[in-house]
Amino acid sequence: MIYLDYSATTPVNKEVLETFNKVCNDFIGNPNSLHKLGVEAKKLEESATKQIKELLHLDNEEIIYTSGSSESNNLAIKGLCLKHQGMGKHIITTNLEHSSIYGPIGYLQKLGYTVDFVKTKNGLVDMDDLKRLLTDDTVLVTISSVNSETGIFQDIKKIATFLKDKKCFFHVDMTQSIGKVNIPLDNIDLISFSAHKFYGLKGIGVLIKKKEITLEPLIHGGKSTTAYRSGTPALPLIVSLSKALRLALENLDKKYEYVLDLNKYLKEEISKLEDVAINSNENSIPHILNISVINIKPETMQHALEKYDIYISTQSACSANNKISKAVLELTNDEKKSSYSIRISLSYLTTKEELEKFIIALKKCINELKIK
């Protein structure tokens, strides 16, 4: 098997799975219980939370554990806007966001909120346009650090510095960047990510927020680990997330350079193919390479490669079933490329030999499908 869909989800690191199993077996108490088993579980939970904050160099922030990035994004956007309706009802975002950003924004629009989409240049946020869109009614700016389809990597530090003196809040979906690239987290009010994107288990995510920021909970019924998310703390998942994050951040620069070399090789080989366009550009992280095989439907190409036991993606795995990729259209302004785009996502686990076999299979699939 050749797996090239790491941006959809990653295989669980064996060490992380071992940690999960150990906590399941050895810490059976509810961290909210007052007896000895509960107290032991609570200490472990607090230790995991402390490690996450240390790894990400956090200080004046609160960790909220969720079921994943989709819940984190919903809690950040709906929770913040509903709690601070008096500040304004205007939201700014981009055309490069995940569906779990557009979903809650769409919900808020039904409640009378307005939304503007900031322009981009070569994929990056146009700072002049962002400045133009800001009004006294702006309550939230939400921008992903890395687009899941094209890999576009925003200059979050620049945006955060610009917004720090403004009265609005700044939320960053870091689902596709945590564990892949280093981003300063200064001046960001809320941050979302999920463990299964960096070799952790599915079902656990995080929303980081500044301590002074209040939210309207999505789930009511008890304090749990925080007042903003009720439910029995998922201790094995929490501890395993902490472990996965620590391992993902080890030798991060070395892993990045390795993936960068793979990306360069892949682009060199793909650029030799007729009727294949590379959509990701110099502003994209090397872990994601978006291409368009013109006149071959993405799903058709996906299933053709499947016959060779090779797995890639069309649009984001969580996106709506759209024929045109909104993200590719925003980047290329080309409807044809947007209609035929596929995503190849790499990891430090990917080998050059796998990519060589992928290129051979891709050529065969293109020739076979063109004949049909």
Q: Which residues are catalytic?
A: 318
Q: Which two tokens stand for residue 186?
A: 């200064």
Q: Any idea what DSSP says for residue 5?
A: B
Identify the three-state secondary structure at position 343.
strand
Cα–Cα distance, 147 to 289 (Å, whole number): 11
Cα–Cα distance, 209 to 206 (Å, whole number): 10
Q: How far apart are the first and last CA of the chain?
A: 26
Which residue reads 């008096």 in tokens? 86
Name 67's Cβ contacts closer than 8 Å, sequence gap at least 6: 203, 204, 205
Q: Which two tokens stand for residue 235?
A: 């201790």
Contact 160, 132 (CB under 8 A): no
Q: Which two tokens stand for residue 323?
A: 């024929």
